Chains A and B, each alone.
Chain A
Amino acid sequence: MARQYSREHEWLDVEGDVALVGITEFAQEQLGDIVFIDLPEVGDEFDKGDDIAVVESVKAASDVYAPLTGEVIEVNDLLADEPATVNASAEEDGWFFKMSIADKSELDELMTADEYKAFVESES
């Protein structure tokens, strides 16, 4: 399935009942140098829109919202020691977590790559 995007600047690769989630290239660029990422723990459950992670740049802390309702099933341990991986590779090596998808209808609100691109342009 093609990559999808949220209005909160996250990307999602959905496979079956599982989504791999990270923040977009646009988001990492806006945040600047990332020095710490507070990731959820495996087994934590979230409703769509809950605070699920925090990204700390040199200057500021920013919340990341759960793009879907579900349970965290894996986190990217690399980010604990190398948070700058997100600056270098936001949409590949810098993925944040995998979560199960409790309600597939929530996927309908996500955007395609083209839609997200237009969304970013309208925001800036």
Chain B
Amino acid sequence: MGADHRLVKWCDVFIMLEPKLDLMPDNKQTALFSLHQELGGKMVPFAGYEMPVQYPLGIMKEHLHTRASAGLFDVSHMGQVELSGDNVEAKLETLLPANVQALKPGRIKYSFFTTEEGGVIDDLMITKDGEGKLFLVINAGCKEKDLAHMRAHLDSVQIVERDDLGLVALQGPKASAVLGRLAPAVIEQAFMSCQFVDIGGVNCRVSRSGYSGEDGYEISIPNTDLDRIVRLLLAEEEVEAIGLGARDSLRLEAGLCLYGHELDETISPVEADILWAIPKSRRESGGFPGAERILAEMASGPKRIRVGIKPEGRAPMREGTELFHGEEKVGVIKSGGFGPSAGHPVAMALVQSDLKEVGTELEAEVRGKRLPCKVAALPFVKQTYYRKSK
């Protein structure tokens, strides 16, 4: 998420929170823009779009509502891209460390484009639609560079950005009951799978996935029908519209990386501690950009690694806050704020890997003062993804 975690002056807060649209002349709008305004969303510039940071409910209640019931998020700013062509699966494997060739139709994998130096260009979701057909969801702020990267390296692959589609996420323990009322087939849909179902008379791509740590769905809907179908979802009593502010606090509590924070071109997947997304076959065969650094770090351990940080007091520790062990600077906070469900401030940091043990006592320098904090287990709240009962 953007730069809105930093210490800001009053005037910036007003720019950030007030719908002064003349300040964002070049920003795009999603097909839900007028609905956001109608719902009282506070629109802010984010990754080239005007997006709701919160609605009148406020970030705290929006966050708690999502964990207790169901929250609806507009994530249409994210890029949706179709790849097609012979052997597109094998070709995509040259750019990232997932086992795309083994992906079965209708299944989804999380992965990331790596740089030659072993950093991360972007993280993404890959769905296999069929032989030679893949569907990607990429971060809004990385769209241009991802598309350029793929166009430069994927020979004879047709790359189509589907900006005719909107994307919404329905997240929370009641998401399944709500969406199941409109499309019963989604109730028993497996985690990280995708199917097309009819919602309100429109064929929609429904993925059982999300980024809140809760069960839920991401639904890709033609822009022409987006407003109408989102209103159908919002009409269900369990559902509230949720802004980007709560989206960020939810994913932070869930211990999920956000590009531009825990992930960037200088941080390796080993340092970001997302090795679970690199399957055994790719660890053995390599063959993706930066494999040399990444495989070497896996063998000998990275110098620094992502950890959870729990501030001991009530003061949040924001992005950029430096961490100390005695007098030695040992790390930096990459995302930090208040965790409404955790009930205390939460953060994620990159720290020297010899200090990664849960419970390690560190100090953070906040406004010139050293405040105590501890390395904490991630996630801060239990993830509750859907597992089919046997």
**Cβ B315 vs Cβ A60 within 8 A:** no
**Cβ A36 vs Cβ B314 within 8 A:** yes
- Determine the chain A residues whose CB is within 8 A of the CB of B14 once the complex forms: 30, 123-124
Interface window among B51-59, B136-144, B254-262: B51-59
**Cβ B10 vs Cβ A8 within 8 A:** yes
Q: A8-B10, A35-B338 are in contact. Are A61 and B318 (CB under 8 A)?
A: yes
Q: A30-B13, A56-B315 are in contact. Are A61 and B338 (CB under 8 A)?
A: no
Seed contacts A32-B54, A60-B13, A124-B20; 15 additional CB < 8 Å A-B pairs: A30-B13, A33-B338, A33-B340, A35-B316, A36-B315, A36-B338, A36-B345, A54-B367, A59-B59, A59-B248, A61-B318, A62-B7, A64-B10, A83-B314, A124-B14
Q: Once the chains are docked, how many angstroms separate the CA of A58 from the CA of B4?
A: 11
A13 within 8 Å of B by Cβ?
no
Q: Once the chains are docked, how many angstroms separate the CA of A83 from the CA of B60?
A: 13
**Which A-chain residue is minimally distant from B13 (CB atoms)?**
A62
- Determine the chain A residues whose CB is within 8 A of the CB of B5 once the complex forms: 59-60
**Cβ A30 vs Cβ B17 within 8 A:** yes
Q: A30-B17, A35-B338, A83-B314 are in contact. Are A63 and B58 (CB under 8 A)?
A: no
A interface majority secondary structure:
mixed
Q: Once the chains are docked, how many angstroms separate the CA of A69 from the CA of B162?
A: 58
- Determine the chain B residues whose CB is within 8 A of the CB of A62 once the complex forms: 7-10, 13
A62, A83, A123: most-surrounded residue (chain B CB, <10 A): A62
**Cβ A38 vs Cβ B367 within 8 A:** yes
CB distance from A58 to the nearest CB of B (A): 4
**Cβ B60 vs Cβ A58 within 8 A:** yes
Q: Once the chains are docked, how many angstroms separate the CA of A52 from the CA of B60?
A: 26
- Determine the chain A residues whose CB is within 8 A of the CB of B249 once the complex forms: 58-59
Q: Which of under 10, 10 to 19, 20 to 34, or 35 or more describes the interface residues of A?
A: 20 to 34
A9 within 8 Å of B by Cβ?
yes
B337 within 8 Å of A by Cβ?
yes
A35, A57, A59: most-surrounded residue (chain B CB, <10 A): A59
Which residues of A are in contact with B by a Cβ distance under 8 Å?
8-9, 27, 30-33, 35-36, 38, 54, 56-65, 80, 83, 123-124
B105 within 8 Å of A by Cβ?
no
Q: Once the chains are docked, how many angstroms separate the CA of A65 from the CA of B11?
A: 12
- Determine the chain A residues whose CB is within 8 A of the CB of B10 once the complex forms: 8-9, 27, 62-65
Q: Once the chains are docked, how many angstroms separate the CA of A64 from the CA of B338?
A: 20
Q: Once the chains are docked, how many angstroms separate the CA of A30 from the CA of B19?
A: 11
- Determine the chain A residues whose CB is within 8 A of the CB of B9 once the complex forms: 62-63
A58: contacting residue among B315, B337, B367, CB under 8 A: B337
A63: contacting residue among B7, B54, B63, B337, CB under 8 A: B7
Q: Once the chains are docked, how many angstroms separate the CA of A54 from the CA of B10?
A: 10
CB distance from A62 to the nearest CB of B (A): 5
**Cβ B59 vs Cβ A32 within 8 A:** yes
**Which A-chain residue is minimally distant from B60 (CB atoms)?**
A33
Q: Once the chains are docked, how many angstroms separate the CA of A57 from the CA of B61?
A: 13
Q: A30-B17, A32-B54, A35-B314 are in contact. Are A60 and B59 (CB under 8 A)?
A: no
